[in-house]
């Protein structure tokens, strides 16, 4: 018998399911990807077909194994990472979902959140869960399902239903209904989980009328929690983490103060906050990063809803450019934006402002403004929003990151990375591997089964592809940023 050669990462994202086989050097040996359908049944509502998610995830796992000619006995462990906060409610007997999955972006519970704030329960939620009372998180979505799906509450109280985030749904299916499980990082995004006791919080469950039996068992992020025999001989499922926490782990941000920023549709900046619960007074959320070896690591997080999507909007709706990558040359073709600022508050503002009524705003337009200025302003807005989050983190933690590690689609943009370093006054580092999320899940699983010995053994896998040093004069940086702050004020409260 030879030693297993790979760890299989299942990376279940918002728009696609991916599977990657990593070897012991952290190299991707095979990758398979499958997009699935987004459903928008009403304005502001977003749903997924949970069955489609599972079938696509299973199919890409099988394809990744086939392409590497790997047999199940070659796989040391499976790691799972997933779109966070999205919830599925399913029948314990049949394993069938009783309603489409409600996706993290869905705003259907915004009125419920207004009511919670009116009743003052948001303060309890903030203290116990570290989160804001916002439709973004899972708790109100589960409460909505119990209230609106016919018979759901009664069946939940009889113990006939299961609820869970996407990790739970995948594990349930991988184990043919044996394990109803999640990990602390996913649980910490539900608004139901006490991040001090690391358990579902009874006072919160009572408030939302959610029976405890509906919820999964909570496990560490690294450790064997179940086995799957779907691919042949049994493979341990040994790592689970929400996508942003997995990315923090994949970037090897193991030390307190280490931070990463993912520039995708939105941007998610997470900083390792060490073993004490971080308390933000600046509009960030405190969340569990991971738990392993009996130790819980927390993170401070700034979630910004629109980043790369501002470029998508300029491309698809305004038709200022043909593809997002062209934005780099366009931005570099002008010396600056000519005083234009673009605040892409299309769905309100997340961290650090949390203003659901802010709307997209472009200010400072003159007769000389052209499309290059607008495209540049869109890219700069990504950097300014990041600066707001980093400043908030600095205020909350007293520490400014020494370097910002970046990933996600827009991190390919050299102009953005340089402008980011300039506007932060902090170097920006882009790793060679663009798969930090999947890699993080693989690391968590591989560490649990001894495929890798410890964190130190992972260090040689990290390679910087390019480092961007701050070059801008301090006075210029602060002048530009002051303009951004004025522009943000203009965008706030618009839809009220
Ligand atoms: P997600 O995982 O959120 O779907 P990705 O990490 O795949 O997002 O990144 C896609 C986003 O990045 C899109 O919004 C796109 O506009 C933006 N993007 C992709 N390439 C570039 C680029 N070269 N410059 C700027 N933005 C880009």
Domain boundaries, the chain: 6-243
Q: Which of 84, 265, 436 to mutate to test the pocket of ligand 1 (most atoms within 8 A of CB)?
A: 265
Give CATH superfamily name and number for 6-243: ATPase, nucleotide binding domain (3.30.420.40)
pLDDT category of residue 3 using cuts at 50, 70 and 90: confident
Q: Is the pLDDT of residue 223 over 90?
A: yes
Window from 105-109, 202-206, 245-249, 302-306 with minimum mean pLDDT: 105-109
Q: What is the pLDDT of residue 347?
A: 83
Q: Is the pLDDT of residue 71 over 60?
A: yes
Distance 304 CA to ligand 1 centre (A): 14
Tell which atom from ligand 1 comes closest to the C-alpha of 307: 14
Q: Dmax over Cα atoms in the chain, in whole Å?
A: 73
Rounded CA gap, 259 and 407, in Å? 12
Distance 311 CA to ligand 1 centre (A): 8
Q: Is the pLDDT of residue 325 over 80?
A: yes
Distance 325 CA to ligand 1 centre (A): 9
Distance 76 CA to ligand 1 centre (A): 32
Residue nearest to atom 15 of ligand 1 (CA): 308
Residue nearest to atom 8 of ligand 1 (CA): 264
Q: Is the pLDDT of residue 384 over 70?
A: yes
Q: Is the pLDDT of residue 1 over 90?
A: no
Average pLDDT of the segment spanning 446-462: 95
Q: Is the pLDDT of residue 437 over 90?
A: yes
Q: Is the pLDDT of residue 484 over 70?
A: yes
Q: Is the pLDDT of residue 70 over 80?
A: yes
Distance 308 CA to ligand 1 centre (A): 5
Tell which atom from ligand 1 comes closest to the C-alpha of 311: 16
Q: Is the pLDDT of residue 496 over 90?
A: no
Distance 380 CA to ligand 1 centre (A): 14
Q: Is the pLDDT of residue 24 over 90?
A: yes
Residue nearest to atom 18 of ligand 1 (CA): 410
Of 21, 76, 11, 79, nearest to 219 (Cα)? 79
pLDDT category of residue 355 using cuts at 50, 70 and 90: confident
Residue nearest to atom 2 of ligand 1 (CA): 264
Distance 466 CA to ligand 1 centre (A): 18
Distance 383 CA to ligand 1 centre (A): 14
Distance 250 CA to ligand 1 centre (A): 19
Q: Spell out which residues line ligand 1, taking CB within 6 angstroms.
A: 13, 15, 264-265, 308-309, 311-312, 324-325, 327-328, 408-410, 412-413
Tell which atom from ligand 1 comes closest to the C-alpha of 408: 6
Average pLDDT of the segment spanning 184-213: 97
pTM of whole model > 0.95? no
Q: Which of 103, 308, 329, 413 to mutate to test the pocket of ligand 1 (most atoms within 8 A of CB)?
A: 308
């Amino acid at each position: 018998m030879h030693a297993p050669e790979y760890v299989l990462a299942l990376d279940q994202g918002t728009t696609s399911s991916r599977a990657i086989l990593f070897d012991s050097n952290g190299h991707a040996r095979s990758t398979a990807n499958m997009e699935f359908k987004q459903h928008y049944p009403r304005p502001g509502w977003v749903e997924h077909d949970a069955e489609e998610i599972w079938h696509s995830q299973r199919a890409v796992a099988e394809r990744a194994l086939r392409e590497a000619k790997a047999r199940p006995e070659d796989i040391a462990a499976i790691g799972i990472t997933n779109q966070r906060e999205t919830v599925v409610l399913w029948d314990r007997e049949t394993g069938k979902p009783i309603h489409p999955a409600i996706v993290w972006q869905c705003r259907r519970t915004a009125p419920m959140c207004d009511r919670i704030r009116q009743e003052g329960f948001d303060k309890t939620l903030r203290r116990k869960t570290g989160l804001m009372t916002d439709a973004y998180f899972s708790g109100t979505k589960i409460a909505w399902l119990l209230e609106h799906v016919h018979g759901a509450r009664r069946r939940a109280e009889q113990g006939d239903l299961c609820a869970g985030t996407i990790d739970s749904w995948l594990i349930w299916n991988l184990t043919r209904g044996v394990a109803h499980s999640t990990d602390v990082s996913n649980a910490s995004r539900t608004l139901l989980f006490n991040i001090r006791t690391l358990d579902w919080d009874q006072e919160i469950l009572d408030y939302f009328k959610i029976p405890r039996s509906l919820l999964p068992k909570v496990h560490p992020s690294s450790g064997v929690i179940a086995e799957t025999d779907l691919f042949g001989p049994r493979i341990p499922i040994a790592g689970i983490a929400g996508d942003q926490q997995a990315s923090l782990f994949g970037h090897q941000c193991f030390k307190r103060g280490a931070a990463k920023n993912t520039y995708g549709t939105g941007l998610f900046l997470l900083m390792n906050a060490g073993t004490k619960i971080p308390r933000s007074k600046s509009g960030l959320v405190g969340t569990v990063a991971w738990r392993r070896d009996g130790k819980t690591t927390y993170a401070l997080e700034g979630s910004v809803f629109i980043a790369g999507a501002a470029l998508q909007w300029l491309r698809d709706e305004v038709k200022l450019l043909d593809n997002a990558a062209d934005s780099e040359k366009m931005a570099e073709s002008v010396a600056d934006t000519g005083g234009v600022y673009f605040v892409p508050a299309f769905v309100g503002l997340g961290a650090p402002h949390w203003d659901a009524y802010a709307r997209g705003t472009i200010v400072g337009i003159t007769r000389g403004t052209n499309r290059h200025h607008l495209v540049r302003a869109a890219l700069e807005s990504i950097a300014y929003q990041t600066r707001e989050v980093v400043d908030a983190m600095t205020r909350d933690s007293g520490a400014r990151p020494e370097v910002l590690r970046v990933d996600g689609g827009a991190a390919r943009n050299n102009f953005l990375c340089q402008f980011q370093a300039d506007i932060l006054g902090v170097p920006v580092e882009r790793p060679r591997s663009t798969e930090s999320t999947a890699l993080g899940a693989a690391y968590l699983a591989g560490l649990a089964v001894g495929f890798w010995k410890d964190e130190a053994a992972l260090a040689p896998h990290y390679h910087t592809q390019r480092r961007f040093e701050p070059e801008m004069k301090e006075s210029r940086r602060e002048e530009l940023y002051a303009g951004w702050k004025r522009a943000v004020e203009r965008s706030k409260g618009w839809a009220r």
